[in-house]
Amino acid sequence: MKKKVVSFLASGRGSNFRAVVVKIRDGYIPGRPGILVCDREDAGAFAIADEFGMKSYFVDPKAHTDRKSHEEVVVRLLREHQTDLVVAAGYMRLLTPYIIGEFGSAIINVHPALLPAFPGVHAQNQAFDYGVKLSGCTTHFIDEGVDTGPIIMQVAVPVLPADTADSLAARILREEHIILPESVRLFCEGRLSINGRKVLIRE
């Protein structure tokens, strides 16, 4: 079976990006690394792409009149590199129906909360401030809502009495580094299918 090309969108330090690329390099994920596209010129993820010999691109949102025209450039780059799966690894821009329509159910996101609770930004802080006893992380396919797409995997992380928002976020991040590569592996093995809101994982 032809290996799927996995490309990445990122805005920050890129730790989830690294977690997936390491598993591709080690052969755990039967895919090939594609490209990295960032919307911030100072994103730490660029250094990781250089480390792994991946092509990377800065597509400046401020250079475009609207979100769709920005995404048209992103999609062109992804298509030029034969991307089969797009992984949003800490990408802080809300995707428009345009790019979602272009890639369908082939965009995976990781979110630092147990969706549908605490969607949007600063989810760890939201959970901590709310006083929940359990938080966690979720991988899901991206749809046109804010963190509303069909859920692939979830892991619960207890909120400890001595926790701060930062210590909770750090423990959630460790679990993100596990379930995001695992979700990408399942996709590349052709084992994920969507039935309504449910993601089925074939044995």
Active site residues: 111
**Is the previous residue joined to 119 through a cis bond, with omega within 30 degrees of 0?**
no
Q: Distance between CA 91 and CA 49 in Å, rounded? A: 15
Q: Mention every residue, 6+ apart, whose C-beta is less than 8 A from residue 160.
A: 167, 168
